């Protein structure tokens, strides 16, 4: 799951303990949260649009799919006039903090790691903010977080 650290960083998640993943307004990303992500599933927390983009830690799904209330809030930057109480249109999951890596597993590092060549994040033009990660990829990232 990508987040811009300016908006919400791994440190924010650590501070808050958990968060509702608000603001996703892309159908594919929404569908992953609504249909695929189950309680207890682990997630990689990725910092995008920053000096050193990469995976900075892990979290886990603490609450499965429920409506993203910010879509109904006129004052929210994420307000969507097409969303209603009955048809919320946008869904999210809650993510609990697990750990922050001692160092970032950078996008550069990921690109240099053959075992991670299939990760969606390194594939050309992939701008999706939420993408599935295989168990193998997940454990490879954890290893890279421990040593080079």
Partner DNA sequence: GCCAACGTTGGC
Residues 38/61, Cβ–Cβ less than 8 Å? yes
Tell me if 84 contacts DNA by CB under 7 A. no
Which residue lies nearer to DNA by CB, 17 or 74? Answer: 74
Which residue lies nearer to DNA by CB, 17 or 127? Answer: 127
Among 66, 103, 115, 128, indicate the residue that binds DNA (CB under 7 A).
128
| Window contacting DNA (CB under 7 A); options: 8-16, 67-75, 119-127, 137-145 | 119-127
**Distance between alpha carbon 135 and the CA centroid of its chain, in Å?**
16
Min separation Cβ 43 and DNA, Å: 15
Residues 145/101, Cβ–Cβ less than 8 Å? yes
Among 84, 108, 134, 139, indicate the residue that binds DNA (CB under 7 A).
108
Min separation Cβ 132 and DNA, Å: 15
Tell me if 53 contacts DNA by CB under 7 A. yes
Tell me if 26 contacts DNA by CB under 7 A. yes
Contacts 24+ apart (CB under 8 A), 18-22: 18/62, 18/94, 18/95, 18/96, 18/97, 19/94, 19/95, 20/63, 20/68, 20/92, 20/93, 20/94, 21/92, 21/93, 21/94, 21/95, 22/68, 22/69, 22/70, 22/78, 22/92
Q: List contacts with DNA (CB under 7 A).
A: 2, 4, 25-28, 48-50, 53, 107-108, 111, 124-129
């Amino acid at each position: 799951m990508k987040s811009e650290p300016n908006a919400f960083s791994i440190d924010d998640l650590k501070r808050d303990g958990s968060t509702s993943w608000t603001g996703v307004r892309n159908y594919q990303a929404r569908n992953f949260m609504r249909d695929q992500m189950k309680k207890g599933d682990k997630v990689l927390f990725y910092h995008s649009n920053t000096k050193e983009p990469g995976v900075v830690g892990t979290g886990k799904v603490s609450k499965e799919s429920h409506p993203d209330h910010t879509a109904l809030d006129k004052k929210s930057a994420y307000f969507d006039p097409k969303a209603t109480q009955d048809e919320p249109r946008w869904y999210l999951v809650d993510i609990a903090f697990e750990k922050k890596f001692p160092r970032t597993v950078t996008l550069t590092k990921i690109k240099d790691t053959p075992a991670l060549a299939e990760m969606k994040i390194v594939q050309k033009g992939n701008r999706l903010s939420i993408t599935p990660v295989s168990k193998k990829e997940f454990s490879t990232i954890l290893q890279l977080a421990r040593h080079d």
